[in-house]
Amino acid sequence: MTTPQIIVMIGGILLILFIAWFFWLSPKEQTRISTNNNGTQEVAITVKGGYTPDIIVVKAGQPLRMRFTRQESSSCSETVTFPDFNKSAKLPEGQEVIVEFTPDKPGEYGFQCLMGMLRGKLIVE
Amino acid sequence: MVKDPVCGMEIDPNVAFESREHMEHKYFFCSESCLQKFDNNPHQYVLMTEDPIGSATTGFNPNTRVLQIELPILELAKEGQPGGELIKKALKKLNGIDRVIVNSTSGIVVVDFDNQVIQIQEIVGVIKKTGYLVGGSKTRIGIENIRCTSCVGFIETELKATPGVLDASVNIATQEATIDYLPEQTTLHRLNSAIEDWGYKTRPALSEESVDQQQAAHEKEYKRLMNRFWFAAIISIPVLITAYPKFIPLVRDWSMTTLRVSWFFAALLTLPVLLWSGGDFFNGAWAALKHRAANMNTLIALGTGAAWLYSTVAIGFPGIFPEGTSEPFYDVVAVVIALVVLGQALELRAKGRTSEAIKKLMGLQAKTARVIRNGVEIDIPVEEVLVGDTVQVRPGEKIPVDGVILEGSSAVDESMLTGESLPSSKKVGDDVIGATLNKTGAFKFRTTKVGKDTALAQIVKMVQDAQNSKAPIARLADTISGYFVPIVMILAVVTFVIWFDFGPKPQLIYGLVTAVSVLIIACPCALGLATPMSLMVGIGKGAENGILIRSGEALQTAQGIKTVVLDKTGTITKGKPELTDLLVVDKQQVTRDEMLRLAASVESISEHPLAEAIVEGARNKGLSIGKPEAFEAVPGHGVIATVEGQRVVLGNLKMMKRENVDLVDLEVKSEALANDGKTPMFIALNGKAAGIIAVADTVKEDSKEAIAVLHKMGIEVVMITGDNRRTAEAIARQVGVDRVLAEVLPEDKALNVHLLQAEGKKVAMVGDGINDAPALAQADVGLAIGTGTDVAIEASDITLIKGSLKGVVTAIEVSRATMRNIKQNLVGAFIYNILGVPIAMGVLFPFFGVLLSPLLAGAAMAFSSVTVVGNANRLRAFHPKFRSR
């Protein structure tokens, strides 16, 4: 094996490790939602290539209000669904859409666009 | 001299402080403060000086400053609500309120107020604070080319000053005004002219229907994608020529130097393709990367980005690469982006068709209604119809909203909502459903549900929710696609390393081409689209056939049903007794019709369901019913009355014994009838036995046929009922049910369903949704049989709007067809990726020496997701066995 080949081999292995770490193992940023005066947990979520914030920590038993604003025209993200809560909403571009429900049971629930390209997670504590 | 419209002072126009033009009138002001007041709300002062608009409806009297307004308050009419007093007290506290009259029964508050001191909006606000809402309509009016923010304020004030307007706001971004108003007191036309007074043109607001909105958005997005596609496609042509010079006649003869120059041009040309046509991929990839996530965009961005960068470095610094490897791949960049963008555009087109069912449902809505207000018929948009309005419907017209018939009768075609092909006859007191078609007669009805509360609106909402829900089968695909993209990236790295280290020469080229192919051919979209697209079409198809499936989960469970439990009363049978048999002892003494006529006359004042069945039976035969005299009901026995001089006794065996009637052979005959599940009643005329009248809850016409088809589908059918075994088995024989659970107490129905489940079968329960709710909830799939409007049956997973068992068959058929389609999609998408990725990696190369071109990989990727959506669209051709016309 020539030197460039060995370098490519080692580089490749390192790159694979990096990919695995970056997408699966690294800790992800969580956004904790506080409760406002009315007892509602409210969060504004921007939809553009992904959900920002995408990992949302909320308290169980308190109403949750998510204000989605889609800032792209790609049709992938036009619907957001919360399969575990049987909730979904159409998100017209540039328009704020409110999704409300009260998460009762603690746990981790995913939310996503219809085909699962954009994903977020709701952590109920 | 002119009058200052604000303070009323007479002034000389020439020495006036300032002037304003408003609604084609010029006004002069004495001071700055008057001017300011006017500018804040010009309409208020215009009203003071001109004949008011709509004085007849508002009771406005220009000589006093006191205005009167009637405000309908929602839920005020409900009994036991303290609202009237609350509102009165709160309003009385305000300045400028002269008088408040509360009419709780009609739910109206009449307020006399001084509009110089207080505005309607404030009054409405105060009422809101007491916890009540002012009823009214909300409408949106589009305003063309509104740009300046100050005009927004003017138009808002103008609208707010229009009599009958509760609130108004103008959104400059959407170019629309949103107005809360009382439809009794103003019309859309008047609202439009209030806006036009400011020199703006009005247009209908963009439809609020999400489907229309979505369609418009799709259309825009399609155009955007197609522009990007064409740009990339056109650039692809010269780029391809420079990439394959050997195959192009003239170019073949170019020198290496000319070729190198052409490559530089290719580099420049493909840059806008990469950044504009493929901009979405890079933006999307970057956005995902920020969330430490990766998706289809990441793959395409990496693949095309790598190809461009390598090519540019290769032609810029050919020296740093081994000989023969400094060739560009600009063709990959342009062609792959063109193909994938085209794929997205086609996918969008195909997606649009999946929501056709919803569009059809929404299209059923009538656009206008003929409402009678103050004795005058007016045509108004259906959005303005209020609860409690009286609506006139003529033959051949659509019924605009839900309501109850007040006057007249007709036959109404409800097939569009219930799938019931025969028009149902409607008389005073019957419910009518919005969006159904009035056939023969004219009638007036009182509206009970409008807007989002109508049956149609609820059906649409429910279907949309279900279409966007998830089927459990999608979980696997979801889990996989969560890992999919990083795995593909890893495989691309592995591919590059293997080709570079172990492949033939030129290794760098081979490594790069294969790695790029891997990135491009992998298609997470096909996996992600597989389930939702089929679900969308399948659930829509169900709705078209009168079957409302609540969620993807319900749809998936329904395909595996092995046992169907049918409630007897109201599900298999009509749930209402009908006259079935007439037996007379001696035709000389009395004919059957005469006996029925006498019996019906006796029963005409009774309200017992059996009595109703007899009266109904006589009416259907066109018999004229007489008047009973000396009517006497003997509890547990029957009834006695005198009709036209004859003493008629109608009742059971006990009654006949009590009256000492000799029954001859009637007792034996009644036994036989009872064995068939009927309820026999004896009739005696003037103390002599005359005959038997039998009534029974009869089986629905199509129950037998539906049960036979269920059997053919390999499904066991069980009947469950609280009736005695004899009646139950009689019905079971008639319809061909194989298993009967009789004498089951209502509260034990759920337990019985559970016992069937314990036999290891997937059990569906079919019932009426109210009495059977626990059993419906216990079953794997609960199907509620509705009657037209009961769509919001909570306990059920599936609602059959048409009250027929055929719906059960169709529901299972839809479920099976949809699940089959989903499986095809999933298997297709899996196989595509499982075969495609290794081929792109080059596993065929050692054996056959073939390698997949990245261009082909791009084409495959683009059309795999189009194929999935296309396959889902095949479901639109689904036809149930029982076709509803």
Residues 49-78 (A) with a CB less than 8 A from some CB of B: 49-52, 54, 72-75, 78
Residues 173-202 (B) with a CB less than 8 A from some CB of A: 173
What is the pLDDT confidence band of residue B121, given thresholds at 50, 70 and 90? Answer: confident
- Which residues share a beta bridge with B139? B179
pLDDT of residue B787: 59
Q: Which member of B567, B581, B772, B780 is catalytic?
A: B567
Question: Does the structure show a pLDDT above 70 at B81?
Answer: no
> Under a CB-based contact definition with an 8 Å cutoff, are residues B628 and B605 in contact?
yes
Rounded to a whole number of angstroms, the distance from the CA of B548 to the nearest CA of chain A is: 15
Q: In whole angstroms, what separates CA B313 from the centre of its chain?
A: 55
Question: Does the structure show a pLDDT above 50 at B585?
Answer: yes
pLDDT of residue B429: 84
Write the pLDDT tens digit of every residue in B760-816. Answer: 889 999 987 667 788 888 899 999 887 544 554 566 889 888 778 888 999 999 999
Residues 508-537 (B) with a CB less than 8 A from some CB of A: 524-525, 528-529, 532
Rounded to a whole number of angstroms, the distance from the CA of A81 to the nearest CA of chain B is: 7
Q: Are strands B108-114 and B97-103 parallel, antiparallel or unpaired?
A: antiparallel
What is the pLDDT confidence band of residue B4, given thresholds at 50, 70 and 90? Answer: confident
pLDDT of residue B51: 38
What is the pLDDT confidence band of residue B305, given thresholds at 50, 70 and 90? Answer: very high
Mean pLDDT, rounded, for B219-228? 91
Mutate which: A13, A76, A87, A121, vs B, most B CBs within 10 A: A76
Across the interface, whether the CB atoms of A115 and B532 are under 8 A apart is answered: yes
Contacts of B190 (CB under 8 A, 6+ apart): B53, B54, B162, B164
What is the pLDDT confidence band of residue B106, given thresholds at 50, 70 and 90? Answer: low
Please report, for chain A, the start and end positions of each structural domain, with discontinuous segments joined by +.
31-124
Kindly state the tokens that stand for B572. 């298999």
For chain A, say whether B218 makes contact (Cβ under 8 Å): yes
For chain B, say whether A116 makes contact (Cβ under 8 Å): yes
pLDDT of residue B50: 40
What is the pLDDT confidence band of residue B884, given thresholds at 50, 70 and 90? Answer: very low
Write the pLDDT tens digit of every residue in B496-522. Answer: 999 999 988 888 888 999 999 999 998
B124/B870: higher pLDDT:
B870
Question: Does the structure show a pLDDT above 70 at B256?
Answer: yes
Write the pLDDT tens digit of every residue in B480-492. Answer: 877 889 999 999 9
What is the pLDDT confidence band of residue B195, given thresholds at 50, 70 and 90? Answer: confident
Residues of A in contact with B524 (CB under 8 A): 117
Phi-psi region of A66 (alpha: psi -120 to 50; beta: other; left: phi over 0): beta
Residue among B864, B879, B880 nearest B350 (CA): B864
What is the pLDDT confidence band of residue B12, given thresholds at 50, 70 and 90? Answer: confident
pLDDT of residue B303: 92
Residue among B179, B37, B172 nearest B117 (CA): B37
Mean pLDDT, rounded, for B403-427? 81
Residue among B263, B240, B272, B269 nearest B327 (CA): B263
What is the pLDDT confidence band of residue B77, given thresholds at 50, 70 and 90? Answer: low
Q: Taking the CA of residue B570 as centre, how many other CA atoms within 13 Å lie in the half-sphere pointing to its CB?
A: 15
Q: What is the Cα–Cα distance from B507 to A5, expressed in whole angstroms?
A: 10
For chain A, say whether B284 makes contact (Cβ under 8 Å): yes
pLDDT of residue B788: 46
Q: Say which CATH class A31-124 falls into.
A: mainly beta
Across the interface, whether the CB atoms of B210 and A9 are under 8 A apart is answered: no
Write the pLDDT tens digit of every residue in A20-33. Answer: 999 888 888 888 88
For chain A, say whether B212 makes contact (Cβ under 8 Å): no
B208/B573: higher pLDDT:
B573
> Nearest CB to B529: which of A13, A28, A115?
A115
Please report, in angstroms and rounded to a whole number, the separation of the first and last CA atoms in chain A: 54
> Nearest CB to B224: which of A22, A73, A118?
A73
Mean pLDDT, rounded, for B699-708? 88
Beta strands in B585-738 (DSSP E): 628-634, 638-643, 646-651, 679-685, 688-699, 716-720
Residues of A in contact with B283 (CB under 8 A): 48-49, 72
- What single DSSP character describes residue A24? I
Mutate which: B497, B539, B794, vs A, most A CBs within 10 A: B497
The amino acid at residue B207 is S
Across the interface, whether the CB atoms of B296 and A12 are under 8 A apart is answered: no
Helices (H) and strands (E) in chain B, counts: 31, 33
pLDDT of residue B794: 63
Rounded to a whole number of angstroms, the distance from the CA of A11 to the nearest CA of chain B is: 9
Q: What is the Cα–Cα distance from B716 to B819, expressed in whole angstroms?
A: 21
Residues of B in contact with A73 (CB under 8 A): 217, 220-221, 224
Per-position DSSP letters for A62-88, written without gaps between them: S-EEEEEEE----GGGGEEEEGGGTEE
For chain A, say whether B216 makes contact (Cβ under 8 Å): no
> Under a CB-based contact definition with an 8 Å cutoff, are residues B641 and B630 in contact?
yes
Rounded to a whole number of angstroms, the distance from the CA of B294 to the nearest CA of chain A is: 8
pLDDT of residue B46: 57
Residue among B810, B876, B800, B878 nearest B546 (CA): B800
What is the pLDDT confidence band of residue B228, given thresholds at 50, 70 and 90? Answer: very high
Write the pLDDT tens digit of every residue in B257-287. Answer: 888 888 889 999 999 999 999 998 998 889 8
What is the pLDDT confidence band of residue B883, given thresholds at 50, 70 and 90? Answer: low
The total of other beta-carbon atoms located within 10 Å of residue A106's CB is 12
Contacts of B290 (CB under 8 A, 6+ apart): A50, A52
Per-position DSSP letters for B433-489, written without gaps between them: -TT-EE-S--EEEEEEE-GGGSHHHHHHHHHHHHHTS--TTHHHHHHHHHHHHHHHH
Question: Does the structure show a pLDDT above 60 at B227?
Answer: yes
Residues of A in contact with B460 (CB under 8 A): none
User: What is the three-class DSSP state of B518?
Assistant: helix
Q: What is the Cα–Cα distance from A28 to A25, expressed in whole angstroms?
A: 9
Q: How many Cβ contacts (< 8 angstroms) between chains A and B?
A: 117
Active site residue B167: no
B610/B711: higher pLDDT:
B711
Across the interface, whether the CB atoms of A88 and B469 are under 8 A apart is answered: yes
Write the pLDDT tens digit of every residue in A24-57. Answer: 888 888 888 888 777 788 899 999 888 988 899 9
Contacts of A4 (CB under 8 A, 6+ apart): none
B487/B25: higher pLDDT:
B487
For chain B, say whether A3 makes contact (Cβ under 8 Å): no
pTM across the whole model = 0.74
> Under a CB-based contact definition with an 8 Å cutoff, are residues B493 and B511 in contact?
no
Question: Does the structure show a pLDDT above 70 at B690?
Answer: yes
Tell me what percent of the residues of chain B surpass a pLDDT of 90: 21
User: Which residue from B minimizes the CA distance to A117?
Assistant: B295
pLDDT of residue B320: 75
pLDDT of residue B89: 82
pLDDT of residue B200: 80
For chain A, say whether B41 makes contact (Cβ under 8 Å): no
The amino acid at residue B269 is L
Q: What is the Cα–Cα distance from B400 to B392, expressed in whole angstroms?
A: 10
- Mean of all residue pLDDT scores within chain B: 83
Mutate which: B206, B468, B487, B494, vs A, most A CBs within 10 A: B468
Question: Does the structure show a pLDDT above 70 at B711?
Answer: yes
What separation in angstroms does the CA of B164 have from each of B95, B120, B160, B177? Answer: 21, 9, 9, 16
pLDDT of residue B532: 87
User: Which residue from B minimizes the CA distance to A80?
Assistant: B468
CA angle B705, B709, B713 (to 5 degrees): 170
Question: Does the structure show a pLDDT above 70 at B43?
Answer: no
The amino acid at residue B193 is S
Q: What is the Cα–Cα distance from B481 to B271, expressed in whole angstroms?
A: 31
> Nearest CB to B287: which of A5, A8, A49?
A49
For B373-412, b where at least 16 C-beta lie within 10 A, e where not — what string? Answer: eeeeeeebbbbbbbbebbbbbeeebbbbbbbebeebebbb
Question: Does the structure show a pLDDT above 70 at B420?
Answer: no
Across the interface, whether the CB atoms of A74 and B280 are under 8 A apart is answered: yes
Mean pLDDT, rounded, for A63-92? 86
> Nearest CB to A49: which of B286, B485, B497?
B286
For chain A, say whether B446 makes contact (Cβ under 8 Å): no
Across the interface, whether the CB atoms of A5 and B528 are under 8 A apart is answered: no
pLDDT of residue B58: 41
For chain B, say whether A23 makes contact (Cβ under 8 Å): yes
For chain B, say whether A21 makes contact (Cβ under 8 Å): no
User: Which residue from B minimizes the CA distance to A78?
Assistant: B214
Residues of A in contact with B296 (CB under 8 A): 117
Mean pLDDT, rounded, for B436-465? 84
Question: Does the structure show a pLDDT above 70 at B44?
Answer: no
